[in-house]
């Protein structure tokens, strides 16, 4: 069969006048069994209706025996027309009989959808980079596109998040070889490149939570590690505030600037492509402007957040302000552990935790660590 040929599939052909009775009959007799192959269109040929059947010889024979006394019909083979509205109910269903049974438990239980791009991670102990296993990965990636009609590309995560820009290596498995996309989240639009910027769709509910907190008119907010702006954009979408957004990755700030234009914002966002640590340099004009001016600070750099507490204290109003502190913290008591570490760090800088507004586990990060958030009010102890 040529690449553009439609496949020949099995049809049950009967008179149009019998079609509705046939459907009623199979619904009654096969309540939990799929008889009609929904991947293909039902065809019409003059006075006949052709129902595409699932590819199961035993089922076909049983069906034939069951209805032969009720209807005049034929089992025929004909080129089928794909049903463009068909969608598998699950990835497991889409992969049924497409990969060996021993690899079925290697099908990812979850993956990240960013716009029309999926990034997926496989268990390296089950599916390696052998030629055979790469083929199975590609089959799984094709199924992901099949199940998610808006997805155009699937990339495999080939490394951990690493480096100053917090990026990971991605390899195309299926679909279009493009890494730029438009992602929609909480009524906001984000343009980004999954290879060149860091973005986690798994924080969608956390970003909604932060952006719907009760914030004062004209608050000064610092987003210390803004990325393409998921926190900043969503807050400015809700409130008339001024947000200073910082990121060391020039591509992240470039996309943030585009995203400011893509969204109708109530607040103002001022992007800066600098290392946030440079704000304390004597020659930093931005640092001088922001010194002890922030009402609220967002610290979403969980792997290194404690290393930047001195910068947060430099920026926060001495009279006090709200800090949203994200941290990878050890189990079994991640919140208590993080709070104690933060308390010690603040006290060493002559600051204190005035009040804990909220604390929770955002998600499990690894067998040993959770991602936690502390919403706290902090205050300077000195003049």
Long-range contacts (CB closer than 8 Å, 24 or more residues apart) made by 83-87:
83/38, 83/39, 83/40, 83/41, 86/38, 86/39, 87/146, 87/147, 87/149
pLDDT of residue 1: 39
pLDDT of residue 33: 66
- Triad 48, 1, 84: Cα angle to 5°: 55
8-79 architecture in CATH? Answer: 2-Layer Sandwich (3.30)
Q: Mean pLDDT across the stretch 298-318?
A: 98
What residues have CB less than 8 Å from 305, skipping those under 6 apart?
Answer: 299, 325, 326, 327
User: Above pLDDT 70, what percent of the chain?
Assistant: 97
What is the C-alpha separation between 23 and 36, in angstroms, rounded?
9
Sequence-ordered strand ranges (E) for 27-88: 43-45, 48-52, 73-79
Is residue 311 within 8 Å of 368, Cβ to Cβ?
Answer: no
What residue ranges do the domains of the chain occupy? 8-79, 91-178, 201-380
Looking at CATH, the fold of the domain delimited by 91-178 is given as GMP Synthetase; Chain A, domain 3 (3.30.300)
Question: One fold for both 91-178 and 201-380?
Answer: no
Q: How confident is the model at residue 58 (pLDDT cuts 50, 70, 90)?
A: confident
Q: In the CATH scheme, what is the code of domain 201-380?
A: 3.40.50.150
DSSP 8-state assignment for residue 370: E
Residue 104 has pLDDT above 90, yes or no: no
Cα end-to-end distance, the chain, whole Å: 82
- Encode burial over 75-85: b for 16+ CB neighbours within 10 A, e otherwise: eeeeebeeeee
The answer to which of 31-35, 261-265, 336-340 has the lowest mean pLDDT is 31-35
Report pTM.
0.79
Residue 4 has pLDDT above 60, yes or no: no
């Amino acid at each position: 069969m040529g690449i553009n040929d439609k496949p020949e599939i099995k049809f049950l052909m009967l008179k149009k006048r019998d079609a509705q009775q046939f459907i009623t009959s199979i619904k009654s007799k096969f309540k939990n069994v799929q008889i009609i192959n929904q991947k293909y269109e039902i065809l019409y040929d003059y006075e006949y209706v052709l129902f595409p059947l699932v590819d199961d010889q035993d089922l076909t024979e049983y069906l034939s025996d069951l209805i032969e006394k009720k209807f005049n019909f034929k089992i025929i083979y004909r080129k089928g027309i794909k049903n463009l509205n068909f969608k598998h109910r699950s990835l497991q269903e889409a992969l049924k009989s497409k990969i060996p049974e021993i690899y079925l438990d290697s099908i990812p239980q979850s993956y990240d959808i960013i716009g029309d791009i999926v990034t997926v991670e496989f268990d390296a102990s089950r599916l390696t980079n052998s030629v055979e296993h790469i083929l199975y990965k590609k089959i799984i990636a094709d199924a992901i596109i099949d199940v998610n009609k808006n997805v155009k590309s699937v990339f495999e995560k080939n490394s951990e998040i690493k480096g100053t820009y917090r990026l990971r290596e991605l390899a195309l498995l299926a679909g279009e070889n493009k890494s730029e996309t438009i992602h929609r989240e909480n009524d906001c639009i984000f343009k980004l490149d999954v290879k060149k910027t860091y973005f986690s769709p798994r924080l969608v509910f956390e970003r909604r939570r932060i952006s719907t907190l009760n914030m004062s008119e004209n608050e000064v907010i610092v987003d210390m590690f803004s990325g393409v702006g998921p926190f900043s954009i969503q807050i400015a979408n809700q409130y008339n505030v001024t947000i200073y957004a910082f990121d060391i990755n020039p591509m992240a700030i470039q996309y943030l600037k585009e995203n400011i234009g893509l969204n109708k914002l109530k607040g103002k966002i001022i992007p800066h492509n600098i290392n946030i640590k440079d704000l304390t340099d004597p020659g930093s004009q931005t640092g001088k402007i922001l010194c002890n001016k922030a009402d609220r600070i967002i610290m979403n750099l969980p792997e290194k957040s404690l290393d930047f507490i001195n910068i947060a204290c430099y920026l926060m109003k001495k009279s006090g302000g709200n800090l949203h502190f994200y941290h990878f913290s050890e189990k079994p008591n991640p919140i208590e552990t993080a709070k104690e570490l933060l308390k010690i760090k603040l006290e060493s800088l002559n600051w204190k935790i005035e009040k804990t507004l909220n604390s929770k586990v955002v998600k499990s990060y690894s067998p040993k660590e959770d991602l936690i958030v502390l919403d706290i009010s902090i205050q300077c102890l000195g003049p």
